[in-house]
A and B are shown apart, each in its own frame.
Chain A
Amino acid sequence: MTFALLALSAALAIGIPALATAWAQSRIGPAAAASLAERPELSATVIILVAIPETMVILGFVVAVLIVLRGGAA
């Protein structure tokens, strides 16, 4: 039971930020593509804008790993 809860927590820790990141990028992506069509020199800025929400899922992954590792050690 404890293992199941740990696994669920880890899944939520990465799953929810992943959805949030996907939603944010789905809004940024089309706007970025439209901007690039008009001003190709903005490519670096576009990379930054698209990559910013990924921090959420990266941190979610770290938390999920820590939950699994700590749970395994407990």
Chain B
Amino acid sequence: MIVPMARVRILGPRTELAAAVRAVQDVGLLHLVPPASQPLLEEFLPTSEERRRARALERALAEVEGALAALGLADAAGAAVAAPTAADFARWTRLAHRVRREAVSLGEQIARAEEEQALLAKYHDTFAAFERLLRRDGPADAAVFHLVLRADQAEAKAALEAGLRQLVGPAFESFSQRLPSGETAMLILVPRTTGERVERLLAETRVQEAPVPTGYGPTLAAALPRMREREGTLPRELAALRRRRDGLARPHAAELSRARATLRDRLAQVEAIAQSAVTPRAFVLEGWVPAAGLPTLGDALERGFGGAVVMEILRREAWRAEDAPVVLRNPRLFRPFEIITRALPLPRYGTIDPTPYVATFFPMFFGLILGDVGYGAVLGLAALVLHRRTAPGSTLRSVAEVGGACALFAIIFGFLFGEAFGDLGRRWLGLRPLWLDRESAIVPFLALTLSLGLVHILLGVVLGALSRIRSDPRQAAGRGLSAVMLALIAVAILAALEVLPKALLSPAVIALLVAFPVLVVLEGLVAPIELLSTVGHVLSYARIMALGTASVMLAVVANRLAGAFGSVVIGVLFALLFHTVNFALALFTPTIHALRLHYVEFFGTFYSAGGVRYRPLGHWTPQAGQTA
């Protein structure tokens, strides 16, 4: 259900405005809105001094958050300081500036060291091979090439040597060594005068020259000892840098977290004050409070100001309900299904929260489509595991609970349809349909799903009428009449098919003919088209039958095909594979289609999206942002 809200107006002397906002923030229940315009009431305009202070607070917050982020403490929690002074703000800004500068510098040094360590680790084997190759003596005036041949360039070595022979004759030396990665390190020594031609040859044969990392020396021979040395010293250097960063974080984390919470709260107060309206001597704050929270807010103001600041509840006629923020609150059993409602924009205040209806029909539709004891049990097990591994209140916990309800309905309908992994339950366990055999009773199953669709849509149309009674009685009457006409159409069809006594056909048709012009008068010429589309929505529920039949047929096919194999092992493996695929489909398909039946067919008859999210002025926390 949508929690009833009350619109309140808080009035007091202008000198108490900041204190009143602080008191409201402590309670954490008031969702502020700009006050309705009244004579003598003006928008609050901050002075230049107040604007300067707000800008200083923003700058301080940016410094503090920057420092916390640089220390890797973005999620650190800390309670706001009750009465911060100007000296506190100045100290926090200085501290944050210093800590941020040091933390950023340390962070950059750590990043550079980690990068260097990663680079050395990457080329460790390659350069170790070159180290061994470079120990060989070569002529002093030789040009040296260090090459790395990829694993797929095995032929390139022979081609390169043949090319060198052609280019410089026998005046070259080449050494190679295979690396653990499959690559080959190769060292080539040629007379310095032929260096340029060899370079061209390397380019033609597309052989990559090993890059000498910068900063270690002009040549690989000079760089390798220094790289070895760095490999040894880097872990110690990194550990020392990390210790310094931790040492920087430890003494300041608590204070910076407190500073952030205080600054956030103070800025929220500044924003709240900007939403007030004032006269030369008084202030007015307006907003929404859950009706149950009115005494709490009233008592807090009374305690804090002893009657100097008062709260009045605005009469319903004085405000438009559409502006009220929306809070959904449902019984524990229905609450997990709010994730389905919340996937759409919130319902508007004063309309209907569909969560209880979703909680009733969604698992039922899912169960009707899946309708299998075996698949239901597997789904239940998966939901149980997910439930155990997730935190209360998390989205995944809700998914697990919705999955559990769907599994329960799948098992119930599985018994009613006599299905466990398709027809395996019948053949092995002697399971018999208690109600319908979906393999053969296709038309009765279709009739069942269409009847369910009619009930669901009728419920939606009635809810649509109820939600409009207050705001638009004429439209509400039209919706009510649509519901009656829908029922009459169903009666007429059933009487025509002789499911109901044929004598009902004429009265139902006459009643429809009478209701038709009344509907046009009430809702306009669009109403008959809407009624026809509503009938179409009922037919859409045939998908439950179509998908349910397809689901059972797939399971039966899995069992039959498994039996068709000569080998028992292959048959069982095939059946397992087919049932796994069918189970995956059986999770996905009913979910999507049950969602669609709700979002398109059911919600389309009554749901009014566009509700405002409830954001009360409260104290800041890292998890929830600005809240109570």
B542→A48 contact, CB < 8 A: no
Q: How far is the CA of A69 from the CA of B443 in the complex (A)?
A: 9
- Tell me which residues across on chain A come within 8 A of B443, comparing CB atoms: 66, 69
Total A residues in contact with B, Cβ cutoff 8 Å: 16
- Tell me which residues across on chain B come within 8 A of A58, comparing CB atoms: 540, 542-543, 546
Contact with A along B442-458 (1 / 0, CB 8 A): 11001000000000000
| Residue B221 CB within 8 A of the other chain | no
A44→B596 contact, CB < 8 A: no
- Which of A43, A48, A66 contacts B600 (CB under 8 A)? A48
A69→B543 contact, CB < 8 A: no
| Residue B344 CB within 8 A of the other chain | yes
A48→B599 contact, CB < 8 A: yes
| Residue A59 CB within 8 A of the other chain | yes
Q: What band does the interface of chain B fall in when counting residues whose beta carbon is under 8 Å from A?
A: 10 to 19
A69→B442 contact, CB < 8 A: yes
- Which of A47, A62, A65 contacts B592 (CB under 8 A)? A47
In the complex where A51-B592, A58-B540 touch, is A44 in contact with B546 (Cβ < 8 A)? no
Q: How far is the CA of A65 from the CA of B446 in the complex (A)?
A: 10
- Tell me which residues across on chain A come within 8 A of B546, comparing CB atoms: 58, 61-62
Contact with A along B146-184 (1 / 0, CB 8 A): 000000000000000000000000000000000000000
Q: How far is the CA of A61 from the CA of B536 in the complex (A)?
A: 15
Q: How far is the CA of A62 from the CA of B72 in the complex (A)?
A: 60
| Residue A52 CB within 8 A of the other chain | yes
A51→B343 contact, CB < 8 A: no
The number of residue pairs between A and B whose CB atoms lie closer than 8 Å in the complex comes to: 45
- Tell me which residues across on chain B come within 8 A of A35, comparing CB atoms: none
B-contacting residues, A31-64, CB 8 Å: 43-45, 47-48, 51-52, 54-55, 58-59, 61-62
- Tell me which residues across on chain B come within 8 A of A66, comparing CB atoms: 443
| Shortest beta-carbon distance from B291 to chain A in Å | 29
B540→A55 contact, CB < 8 A: yes
Q: How far is the CA of A7 from the CA of B308 in the complex (A)?
A: 85
Q: How far is the CA of A51 from the CA of B442 in the complex (A)?
A: 23
Q: How far is the CA of A52 from the CA of B539 in the complex (A)?
A: 13
A65→B539 contact, CB < 8 A: no
B543→A44 contact, CB < 8 A: no
Q: How far is the CA of A48 from the CA of B540 in the complex (A)?
A: 13
Q: Which residue of A lies closest to B603 (CB)?
A: A48
In the complex where A44-B599, A58-B543, A62-B545 touch, is A51 in contact with B344 (Cβ < 8 A)? no
| Residue B252 CB within 8 A of the other chain | no
Task: Pull 12 A–B residue pairs with CB atoms less than 8 Å apart, ordered by A.
Answer: A43-B343, A44-B599, A47-B596, A48-B599, A48-B600, A51-B595, A54-B593, A54-B596, A58-B542, A62-B545, A65-B549, A69-B443
CB within 8 Å of A: which residues of B?
343-344, 442-443, 446, 536, 539-540, 542-543, 545-546, 549, 592-593, 595-596, 599-600
CB within 8 Å of B: which residues of A?
43-45, 47-48, 51-52, 54-55, 58-59, 61-62, 65-66, 69
